[in-house]
Amino acid sequence: MMKTMLFEKSEHIATITFNRPEMLNVVNHEVLEELSDVLDQVEQDESLRVLLITGNGKAFVAGADIKSIVDLSVLEAKLFSRKANVILSRMEKLMIPVIAAVNGYALGGGFEIAMACDLRIASDKAVFALPEVKLGIMPGFGGTQRLSRLVGPSIAKEMIFTGRNITADDAKSIGLVNQVCSSEDLLTEAKRLANKIAKNAPVGVSQSKLAIDKGLALDISAALDVEIEAFSVCFATEDQKLGMRGFINKEKDIIFKNS
């Protein structure tokens, strides 16, 4: 029985909900452990095609639980940061797409969790920030690296050096979020996007994700080789035959088998 989050599955889509609304869903060791356990379930479930992540209450995740880390030693801080980074890297490298439905405050570690997702949909009440410098520290869950890759080093440095908040509309304007909608429509829109993805060939989607993510760390020549390999893998699947023959025969609503 999990204490800090909810996990549910509906057909090919799973949803993780951070569930400590009275604490604005802040992250501590227990939250990280439970997130790791949930990722174990996601990794082992071959029926899943999309993962949604959101939060209950006024926050997506409002950062780390400061009371739990204020007295950490240098070594303890290193271990805490490493633990969080290992877990978020696992989430980032899932073979299925991960969508963050950001319902409110996404601050510090919460913002870093959202950035480790493939796509982000934000409610019009969402607020994003990496305010760690105001607490005498810096981002430690991958924020310096992912933010600079998402929006470029100049904007990332300004946000991190100032620790300022940005609105959902600001986040969309700099490419941090894919879509902004009302709070009432957030989960509906996130699930609509998840269903659009889930209807497509799972291997095609997962190989596309792999090629994009792996290719970003390479020069263009090596990255194109990654795409060539990923493209060819699709031709070992039954879904490739279903999709292409269905197109040729003008079939509609092809149901892919993930095989």
Tell me: the pLDDT tens digits for 37-59? Answer: 999 999 999 999 999 999 999 99
- Give residue limits of the domains in the chain: 5-198, 202-248
Active-site option among 112, 184, 238, 251: 112
Quote the percentage of the chain above a pLDDT of 90: 96
Active-site option among 132, 189, 227, 229: 132
Predicted pLDDT of residue 259: 83
Answer yes or no: CATH 3.40.50.150 is held by domain 202-248: no
Q: Minimal CA–CA distance to 126: which of 90, 169, 88, 158?
A: 169
Q: 5-198 is classed in which CATH architecture? A: Alpha-Beta Complex (3.90)
Predicted pLDDT of residue 151: 97
- What type of residue sits at position 259? S
Predicted pLDDT of residue 1: 80
Number of H helices, E strands in the chain: 11, 10
Q: Minimal CA–CA distance to 108: which of 93, 82, 127, 124?
A: 127
Tell me: the pLDDT tens digits for 82-101? Answer: 999 999 999 999 999 999 99
- Which residues of the chain register pLDDT less than 70? none
User: Helix (H, G, I), strand (E, B), or coil: what is residue 180?
Assistant: strand
Is 251 annotated as catalytic?
A: no
pTM: 0.95
Is 229 annotated as catalytic?
A: no
What is the C-alpha separation between 150 and 142, in angstroms, rounded? 12
